[in-house]
Structure 1
């Protein structure tokens, strides 16, 4: 891997970064071609990309961006120009992806986790990366970075992310905070922070650490831990009367073994209360939710009422790739024969309940927040619809009527990865105008949701 080349030039005392990993720059003609390709793929594949944002406004933005592509740009700078196009559509599954390429440049990283919000405090320190000594206090409010106000940083990040709400886009952007500091503001690994802690405003300069160094540190810390341990965890509280299952994602890998083991412990310990923590769970495979409900429900269920899908060339290409060297079944042949642009509506059958001796019949409390998304929010809506227990936390970022089932392609010249929703999902119980998340029974901030659940368990209001 080539090193990232930093060229220091005197330009109004600014530091310019040159992307050494890929020196290639793209001409305005090629970038405009990519913009046209993005629009073409979007219109051909998405069931209704303008369900919230006016089509005329979108195409006005397209024309403006194309007119401003008047000089050669590298891949990162081109991404910064066009990513806001998709952000306006309020669909978290329709997105451009730069992270893998950007990380290959071995960039500098501000080694702190942060929380971003649309309200004060806009940026909050959530702690240093694991294994590093913290110079910035936990919970400190970051007021500015390199003299850029926190509110501007958050708004710039929101513009470059997709999602169904501005708050979700801010919180999702926090997972790639280091990218924006370098790509947008050219920090070059030097971060001058002004922050407030315990009512006192202070300043500190923090040096960035290269991505490969942090990756090596994370790998060493992860050695000896299996995948399931990192994604799922079981805790016993209150003299084993209460169990907490923490889910970080709906990842099928390792789930069945974990679930059997966890619910066997719950049964053997005669647990009375189960808290399922989906806070910050970004989703994954909805089949994991179906499998989990087998341990929680005693009647047939479905997470979805109906699904409206759009037939397209990209969707058919995805099918052919999945069936490579395998025979096509009758359903595959029907899909491939459907005209591109046509819509199909599928009504979802209920799933039967299996005969498991590990089913839990006690009280269940579900914890959610704005970053409970996609398949995790689908699970929460199903949980609510079948009255399996109470939900505590924030309204989920994932909507109960939402787009998903992504198809993937790449822009022809820059190679940027583009994902596009191909289906519109109606969660069970969702109506035509339900463009909203799952509403909790008890509102709580994420940091206090578990304690609020324990208060319910202990009979407190």
Structure 2
């Protein structure tokens, strides 16, 4: 049931974190192999589907229903007695691509919280890690307990949640140890075969990455002539204090260097919290803004008290403004041309940030269309399946960007740049300058 509420209501969203900085962890994989019957697995499948449909506020509009139902039939047909962790997970995961949203679907089973993650980079279907040691050189993880890692990646990448290969690959990089343990049916690896660039192989019992690799700063500032380039790879809430210092120091330096143009590189930014990205916007505009103009929300026991007349299960559609007032007086607020650089991997809160900049004409968007939709989902919920313990996720909210435009596309750049993810900043600036010469300078194009 969908209900329309007037915007004057005291709204629900002020009491929720619309853009969670991190996801709740999945149920731990059992250390001993677990075997399930067809009846148990079918019960879990039904529980997943029922929970998702009763949680997502616009499920039928978010997926190709016919294709999804056909895939469900194929998954059911593949269920049988005696299925173990890995086989059952890969069968269930065939539904992930049809959901087409990293905020929705089946999670990789989590590992024990006492186990360290493996910091890897995946390139061309192969996993690389920089190991701690005398040489600290990058090594390829070739196999784990005799299982080929490239085959593991090739098998898993198509069925990980997410809208694109780039996003799914990033999830695998962050959850690589979980991927390995899934393929070992929850067991810890005993032998990890690694290979150096010269082809030399050795076997280790544990991957211990260089500490600095996991602590690399996710943002940086550089200059190219009169252009300042700010690379920001995350808006995660746990780096808020560090980000606040970085932003303050960066704009002081931008002012001292007398930069006339600022490029904010969000090509690898997977999102985070709006409180963090607001720190950056504070230096780009003095005018108030709202990142969203409307919301469609599923009513739950937690929020029903703030929506008069609504019952759990209802879907509430309403105008909603989440106004942010930048500081009226701020040292070093930037007044030059602003370019926001986006690409296929730009996601979640980085998308919301980009649409806000675009809708309020704070700057120009350059790059390639995001794979994630311009109107994002939010407030991700998690649910453990009763038998396997697999964890699934779904959002409670669908947001409408501040312009009110409701399309199924990603963020469309003002300045299209092909293969933007592979281009250097110098190449990108050359394209931007070309565009400016043909269309007028960014300020005149925006008519700020």
TM value normalised by structure 2: 0.73
Between the aligned partners of 1:421 and 1:209, the Cα distance in structure 2 is 40
Is 1:133 aligned with 2:137? yes
- Give the superposition deviation at 1:381: 1.7
Is 1:307 aligned with 2:311? no
Over residues 224-281 of structure 1, what are the superposed CA-to-partner deviations in whole Å (9 max), with x where a residue is unaligned?
x6xxx72333x23246x43222212112322323322222232333332222111211
The match for 1:447 among 393, 417, 422 is: 422
Between the aligned partners of 1:205 and 1:28, the Cα distance in structure 2 is 45
Is 1:80 aligned with 2:84? no
The match for 1:113 among 121, 133, 150 is: 121
Which secondary structure does the structure 2 equivalent of 1:260 belong to? Answer: helix
Is 1:424 aligned with 2:398? yes
Tell me if the contact between 1:83 and 1:160 (Cα under 8 Å) persists in the aligned partners. Answer: yes
The match for 2:236 among 248, 251, 275 is: 251
Alignment of 1:280-295 (within 5 A): 280-295=268-283
Unpaired runs of at least 5, structure 2: 1-28, 438-448
Which secondary structure does the structure 2 equivalent of 1:88 belong to? Answer: helix
Aligned twin of 1:361: 335
Which secondary structure does the structure 1 equivalent of 2:110 belong to? Answer: helix
Aligned twin of 1:14: none
Aligned twin of 1:339: 311
Between the aligned partners of 1:287 and 1:207, the Cα distance in structure 2 is 46
CA separation of 1:46 and 1:361: change in aligned 2, threshold 3 A: same
CA separation of 1:459 and 1:437: change in aligned 2, threshold 3 A: closer
Between the aligned partners of 1:389 and 1:56, the Cα distance in structure 2 is 40
- Give the superposition deviation at 1:306: 1.1
Aligned twin of 1:271: 259
- Give the superposition deviation at 1:75: 3.2
- Give the superposition deviation at 1:360: 0.7
- Give the superposition deviation at 1:414: 2.2
CA separation of 1:20 and 1:419: change in aligned 2, threshold 3 A: closer
| Bigger RCO of structures 1 and 2 (CA < 8 A, at least 6 apart) | 2
Greater shift after overlay, 412-421 or 437-446?
437-446
Tell me if the contact between 1:377 and 1:438 (Cα under 8 Å) persists in the aligned partners. Answer: no
Aligned twin of 2:222: 236
Unpaired runs of at least 5, structure 1: 1-18, 116-122, 137-141, 198-202, 320-331
Which secondary structure does the structure 1 equivalent of 2:217 belong to? Answer: helix
- Give the superposition deviation at 1:44: 0.8
Tell me if the contact between 1:44 and 1:312 (Cα under 8 Å) persists in the aligned partners. Answer: no
Is 1:390 aligned with 2:364? yes
Aligned twin of 1:200: none
Aligned twin of 2:23: none
Is 1:23 aligned with 2:33? yes
CA separation of 1:106 and 1:388: change in aligned 2, threshold 3 A: closer
Which secondary structure does the structure 1 equivalent of 2:312 belong to? Answer: coil
Between the aligned partners of 1:375 and 1:276, the Cα distance in structure 2 is 14
Between the aligned partners of 2:413 and 2:429, the Cα distance in structure 1 is 20
Over residues 130-158 of structure 1, what are the superposed CA-to-partner deviations in whole Å (9 max), with x where a residue is unaligned?
6542466xxxxx9xxx99998x8776434
- Give the superposition deviation at 1:27: 3.1
Number of corresponding residues: 393
CA separation of 1:28 and 1:106: change in aligned 2, threshold 3 A: farther
Between the aligned partners of 1:85 and 1:188, the Cα distance in structure 2 is 31
Between the aligned partners of 2:127 and 2:180, the Cα distance in structure 1 is 17
Tell me if the contact between 2:383 and 2:393 (Cα under 8 Å) persists in the aligned partners. Answer: yes
Alpha-carbon RMSD: 4.0
- Give the superposition deviation at 1:56: 4.4
Is 1:37 aligned with 2:47? yes
- Give the superposition deviation at 1:307: 1.1
Over residues 78-117 of structure 1, what are the superposed CA-to-partner deviations in whole Å (9 max), with x where a residue is unaligned?
222212223312122012222522887889x7x86223xx
Between the aligned partners of 1:385 and 1:281, the Cα distance in structure 2 is 20
Over residues 346-367 of structure 1, what are the superposed CA-to-partner deviations in whole Å (9 max), with x where a residue is unaligned?
3232433321223111122222
Aligned twin of 2:13: none
Between the aligned partners of 2:318 and 2:300, the Cα distance in structure 1 is 16
TM value normalised by structure 1: 0.71
